[in-house]
Structures are given as C-alpha cells and as structure tokens.
Amino acid sequence: MRKVAVIVLLILFISPGCLNRKAEVTETTNGPQECLTSNLTLALACYISQDWSLLTNLSVKFKNESLEWTIWNILKWEEENFRYDDFKNSSIILRPSEFLKIRKGVCTDYTVLTAGILLALNVTPVYVLIIHFSETPTLHSAVAVEVGNYTFILDQKLPPRDLGSYLEGFAYNGKTITFAEVYLLNTPGNVSYVGIWGVDKFRENDYTPTYYDAFKLSREIAKIFRRKTGLFPREELRVTIPQGFLERKVWVFRFKMLKISYNPLFLQQYATMLAETIMEDSEVSKDLQTYKAFWTYAYWEGDDLVVKLFLAK
C-alpha cells in the first residue's frame, strides 16, 4: 500500500475596500443618459441602462434552469476573466462595456457588472451592499441575491457566501464589518434605498456545516468521479484492498477554510469544483489512466475539508 498526500489551498478570498465617498465625482455628457460617475448608486442607475443591450447578450452564457448554477457560473467567469486593479488611478466607476474591454477593476466596477448581468437574467431582487468597517473609512461594495432562505453575497470570486460566512471571512482576515447600506434593483435604472443591515442580520443568516454535509459531499463527488472517469466505485477501499486487486493508493486533499463558506444549497456546485480540482491534478490525472476502481471520503477537520481519494488496481 502506498499513500501520497497532496495539500490544496482554497484561501478564503476577501476583497480590499475601494469606496471613498470624499472623492465622488459625476460628469454628464451627451444628455442625461450618458454619464461618468464615482457614485455607486448613480452608476447603477445610469450604466446598466446604457449598456443594457450588451448585458442582455452577455447574460445568455450564464443562463441555467438552476439559480445556483447561474450564480456559480457568473462568479467563475469573473474570477477567470478579470483581475483586481490595485493601481487604479481614477475614482470613476467603469461602465460594464469598458470593464469588459480592459478586464481589470475594483469592487465598484465588479458590482455594477454583476448587478447588470443578474438583472438581464431576470434574477430579482438584486441587492447592492455598501459595507462599512470598524478599522478603516474605506468602504467596500458587493452584490447579494436570495436563494432559498439565505441571502448570498457575490463578490468577484467563487464561492458565493451567505451573510454569516461573509462576516466571518472578513473577521478571519482582520476586518470587522459594522454594517451595510443596502440598495435594491428590480429593473434597469431603478435603484432604491432599503436600509441598514447590521451585524445581527449577517449573523442570523448563517449556515453551520455538519458531519452529514461532508458525507453528502463525499457521495456527490463519487458520482461525478464515476461519470467523468469511468472507474468503478468500491466503498471498501476506505479500509482494505478489495478481492481481485493488488494495489491500493490514497490521495489526501485539504481544502482550507471551506467550512466557513459552505452552504448545502450549493452542494452540486461545490462537489463539482472539488472533484474537478482533484482530477486536474497532474499526478492524479496520470493515476486515473491506470487504476480501475476508486472511492472518495470527505470530512471536516477544523475549518478545513479533507477529501481522500482511494484508488485500486
């Protein structure tokens, strides 16, 4: 028996702040429908309407019967196609059309684009949060949508996080959310103020993963493995080499901090991400060509998810 350990890090992504209201500027050109602004609510009202045709065409690639997959696909696309601009030298928020050209921006640029795509997909209500911290006057912005009984924040990269996970993620990285100003979008050009979401609102909208969640992830990952590799699932590989096989190999993957963000409403999406991450490992990929049977087992260890892949030939 040979055992190989691989550590995979999924670092909890926390966006830097990008909003400074002292620097807000608004310019109007070619009439009231054409504007440039550093004011987020004005940008939401103006830019989405201006680029509505572009956003409608763009949104087609994300359309899915499942709202969970739609949300996941938007964040995956943003993570793969855009980068955070740490050196942006202008407070003017980018129109979606401009953001799509230069492929880099700050939180407000991501917020307008994400909100516009969701509206084009008829996902409503769309919330925009302007987030305040105790440590800094610099604010942050992100988009939120309702899925089931939870409100999830979409913030530039996977995964979507419920409000409690979002609060905890910032705290883990040394930033304390004090409250969020919340705005509502139901149609292009229509932005209304909802009110303040305090820390209690974030805390009450939080899911705590259980042992059973890890078990369900194990089973879902196994289904994906069987479908994508053609290998035969053998549960007894967890403890022994099955009859008819000569060799057993174990790969161990650790997904850091996954317990903080996990919510079972996105079970299929997480399982797919985890399975693909494991299968795309170069050494595992080689093994999948020669081994004939497999099993997967996942469990929580602190805030990490550990996934064991058992192989036999």
First-to-final CA distance of the chain: 11
Please state the rounded mean pLDDT for residues 27-36.
58
pLDDT beyond 80 at 27: no
Cα separation, 217 vs 226, whole angstroms: 14
pLDDT tens digit sequence for 243-255? 999 999 999 999 9
Query: pLDDT > 90: what percent of the chain?
Result: 84
Q: Please, which residues bridge with residue 300 across strands?
A: 305
Task: Label residue 19 by pLDDT band (50, 70, 90).
Answer: confident
Structure confidence at residue 65 (pLDDT): 85
pLDDT beyond 80 at 12: no
Torsion of CA 80, 86, 87, 90, to 10 degrees: 90
Cα separation, 14 vs 218, whole angstroms: 27
Please state the rounded mean pLDDT for residues 267-283.
95
Structure confidence at residue 8 (pLDDT): 53
Structure confidence at residue 139 (pLDDT): 95
Q: Are 312 and 243 in contact (CB under 8 A)?
A: no
Q: Using CB atoms within 10 Å of the CB of residue 27, give its burial: 0 to 12 exposed, 13 to 18 middle, 19+ buried.
A: exposed
Cα separation, 226 vs 232, whole angstroms: 7
Mean pLDDT of the chain: 91
Please state the rounded mean pLDDT for residues 216-233.
97
Every domain range in the chain assigned CATH 3.10.620.30? 21-204
At the top level of CATH, the class of 21-204 is: alpha beta
Fill in the amino acid letter for 174.
G
Comparing CA positions, the residue from 133, 125, 100, 127 lying closest to residue 111 is 127
Structure confidence at residue 29 (pLDDT): 46
Comparing CA positions, the residue from 21, 48, 22, 19 lying closest to residue 35 is 48
